[in-house]
Chains A and B, each alone.
Chain A
Amino acid sequence: MSEKTIERPTTDEAALAKEIEAEEKAAARQASLLKDGWADLRKRPMFIVTGFVIVVLLALAIAPSLFTARSPFSDGFCQLQNSMNGPSSGHLFGFDVQGCDIYTRTVYGTRNSIVVGVLTTIVTTLIGGLLGMLAGLVGGWVDAVLSRITEVFSALPLIVGGLLIMSIWGGGDVWSVAFIMAILGWPQVFRIMRGEVIANKYNDYVMAARALGAGSGRIAFRHILPNTLAPVIVITTMNLGVYIAAEAALSYLGIGIQYPNISWGLMISDAQDRFLTSPHALLFPAGALSLTVLAFIMLGDVVRDAFDPKTR
């Protein structure tokens, strides 16, 4: 008798353990979309290549001093007698108009470009993605208000708005440039996300989920979000490169990052006037810029191919 009463709770415990195990399995199955994507991603050679380039760029951004013996901030870094000299041994990229070593300046310029690109992309994707989803899902007056606010912000084109705001606040450093570009950039993500959500929300699988009693949050994040991610990922990862390029463009117009900060756009702008006689001063920073943009865009491509449930 007494043995039975002891046994009972243990069977309950076993049942409970089984239940927990089953729940965990279900959770694992739900998470498999991301896990599968990651497994798929690791197998792609293009991911290894772009991943390697990006790791190198990140290393350049974090510790530029590992890649060059010189420092652009040290005394005597620029020697005017070297002005516009072409590439030579020890100075692979040659010198700019001030006689500064272009290789060292290009290496040290990596950080600003990467930080501006990553920061702007994160902020725009978060703001634009969340608001776009909200507008698309809720519809009605929420959509109307959010869309009007978006229109107000997106009615200022990136360069025009940047020109206007930076001439008042004075751009100058990485943080202000990223902040201003994020303010002007999020409407694009918003519009793509909203369009996708509206195109998806009347689909049968959403109806089915709703019929099964799924809540709004669950429908939004488990059902609609995975199906809208592909175009948003395409746009945001391509944007990463575009924001890096836009920073260069604003610096090129003389209102983005300014001296003494180093920016590839500023270097290109300085080299432009003498492009006909000494193309090296423009081509090396332009090459670094293009390579960085290229790496991030290709990363976006492989990530999309791996994660989009529709292309698998």
Chain B
Amino acid sequence: MGRYVVRRLLQVIPVVIGVTFIIFCLVFALPGDPIQALAGDKRADPNIAAILRDHYHLNEPLYQQYWHYISGVFTGDLGETYNGRSISDIVAQRFPVTLKLGLTSFAIEAVIGILAGIMSALKKGKFIDNVVLVATLVLISIPVFVLGSVLQLEAGVNLKITPVAGIEKGWPQSYILPAIVLASTSMAYIARLVRTSLTESIRADYVRTAVAKGLPRRRVIGLHAMRNSLIPVVTFLGFDLGALMGGAIITERVFNMPGIGGQLAQSVYLRERPVVVGLVTLLVLIYLAANLVVDLMYAVLDPRIRYE
């Protein structure tokens, strides 16, 4: 297992380089001149522009610019904006908001999703199964930004249960509604995935064997059936952590939260290449860490999967 972890960590490095280079190239191709953008409608002073271009390595070839950026990332320096502000500062300021939102939402979708899926699979065809099926259908069908607006109106403006927008009330009051909205689609996905795969597991021979041996139902479902049913769910949860970060852009926009998502959209709009590259790199690193956890969970959940 220890060797596997080390090998897997080494495998992550080319992926980090590959994806950062793709992002870097994509952002490098953004139309427009960032130095001219600083000066607005006026023509930029050629001397100052030349100094700035030199300072930000804009005159050097693409691969050298990439080298400056990637060597900075590995020493903990995400670069600075064209205004001279450190991107690490922006991250330090904005990231806790997105992190709290994402983790709250992740917890909601995992707990409620898996529980709903188990209940649904165990009572297949019964009332509770139909309730879960209809509820998940509704959640998947309504777009996040519509659900967000409607809940904001109902819970925030009409019922006054939660703050309408912003994060002044702190965690959990200000975060609970956006987190539910952000979690809604994935929660429904997970419930259905657990339902499908648990239904299949329950019919499998090894479960019949376990029942025939006289094991208590709780143990048969909880250990024998769930262990195999969780494989696709773990895959999905790992994938979804990355998607949650992206979904935060919409949720943060609807609820006006000062997180990474809002900053990212704004930076793409303002063509602040270093900020976009820095923030997306951060999301990528988090995502790759989640991937690693998923792969390790595979080994724990399914001993048939052999690692050399």
Of B22, B145, B304, which contacts A252 at CB under 8 A? Answer: B145
Q: Given contacts A155-B242, A159-B249, is CB(A282)–CB(B265) below 8 Å?
A: no
A178 to B298, CA, bound (A): 32
Tell which of A51-59, A81-89, A234-242 binds the partner.
A234-242
A289-B143 in contact (CB<8A): yes
Tell which of A13-21, A32-40, A194-202 binds the partner.
A194-202
B253-A234 in contact (CB<8A): no
B26-A168 in contact (CB<8A): yes
A249 to B11, CA, bound (A): 34
Task: Write the nearest CB–CB distance from A131 to chain B, whole angstroms.
Answer: 15
A286-B288 in contact (CB<8A): no
Of B11, B146, B196, B235, which contacts A286 at CB under 8 A? Answer: B146
B236-A151 in contact (CB<8A): no
Of A151, A168, A196, A290, which contacts B141 at CB under 8 A? Answer: A290
B264-A163 in contact (CB<8A): yes
B231-A199 in contact (CB<8A): yes
B146-A268 in contact (CB<8A): yes
List residues of A (252-280) whose CB comes within 8 Å of B's CBs: 252-253, 265, 268-269, 272, 275-276
Of A196, A286, A291, which contacts B232 at CB under 8 A? Answer: A196
> By CB atoms of chain B within 10 A, which of A187, A234, A248 has the most?
A234
Q: Given contacts A192-B236, A195-B235, is CB(A298)–CB(B137) below 8 Å?
A: yes
Task: Write the nearest CB–CB distance from A140 to chain B, whole angstroms.
Answer: 9
Which residues of chain A are within 8 angstroms of B196 by Cβ–Cβ distance?
230-231, 234, 304
B293 at the interface (CB under 8 A from A): no
B149 at the interface (CB under 8 A from A): yes
Q: Given contacts A148-B14, A290-B143, A294-B137, is CB(A191)–CB(B249) below 8 Å?
A: no
Of B14, B27, B146, B197, which contacts A282 at CB under 8 A? Answer: B146
Q: Which residue of A lies closest to B308 (CB)?
A: A140
Which residues of chain A are within 8 angstroms of B26 by Cβ–Cβ distance?
164-165, 168
A-B contact count (CB 8 A): 157
Tell which of B35-43, B45-53, B54-62, B279-287 binds the partner.
B279-287
B283-A160 in contact (CB<8A): yes
List residues of B (1-50) whose CB comes within 8 Å of A's CBs: 11, 14-15, 18-19, 22-23, 26-27, 29-31
B275 at the interface (CB under 8 A from A): no
Task: Write the nearest CB–CB distance from B102 to chain A, whole angstroms.
Answer: 11
Which residues of chain B are within 8 angstroms of A207 by Cβ–Cβ distance?
none
B305-A155 in contact (CB<8A): no
A158 to B29, CA, bound (A): 19
A133 at the interface (CB under 8 A from B): no
A294 to B142, CA, bound (A): 9
> By CB atoms of chain B within 10 A, which of A159, A192, A286 has the most?
A159
A297 at the interface (CB under 8 A from B): yes
Q: Given contacts A148-B14, A157-B243, A159-B247, is CB(A192)–CB(B232) below 8 Å?
A: yes
Task: Write the nearest CB–CB distance from B180 to chain A, whole angstroms.
Answer: 17
B144 at the interface (CB under 8 A from A): yes
B249-A199 in contact (CB<8A): no
Q: Which residue of A lies closest to B7 (CB)?
A: A144
Of A159, A230, A290, which contacts B200 at CB under 8 A? Answer: A230
B239 at the interface (CB under 8 A from A): yes
B89 at the interface (CB under 8 A from A): no
A13 to B157, CA, bound (A): 84
A276 to B268, CA, bound (A): 30
A297-B243 in contact (CB<8A): no
Task: Write the nearest CB–CB distance from B242 to chain A, whole angstroms.
Answer: 5
Q: Given contacts A155-B19, A188-B239, is CB(A238)–CB(B192) below 8 Å?
A: yes
A293 to B147, CA, bound (A): 14
B193 at the interface (CB under 8 A from A): yes
Task: Write the nearest CB–CB distance from A188 to chain B, whole angstroms.
Answer: 6
B291 at the interface (CB under 8 A from A): yes
A293 to B184, CA, bound (A): 15
B29-A168 in contact (CB<8A): yes
A167-B268 in contact (CB<8A): yes
A43 at the interface (CB under 8 A from B): no
B112 at the interface (CB under 8 A from A): no
A286-B239 in contact (CB<8A): no
Q: Could you list 29 examples of A-B contacts with CB < 8 Å?
A: A148-B15, A152-B22, A155-B19, A155-B288, A157-B247, A158-B246, A160-B264, A160-B283, A161-B246, A165-B26, A167-B30, A167-B268, A168-B27, A192-B232, A192-B235, A231-B193, A234-B192, A245-B185, A249-B143, A253-B250, A253-B253, A265-B143, A268-B146, A286-B146, A289-B146, A290-B142, A290-B143, A290-B146, A293-B140
4 smallest beta-carbon distances between A and B, as pairs: A157-B246, A159-B246, A294-B141, A290-B141
What residues of chain A have their CB less than 8 Å away from a CB belonging to chain B?
144, 148, 151-152, 154-161, 163-165, 167-168, 187-188, 191-192, 195-196, 198-199, 202, 230-231, 234, 238, 241-242, 245, 248-249, 252-253, 265, 268-269, 272, 275-276, 282, 286, 289-291, 293-294, 297-298, 301, 304, 308, 310-311
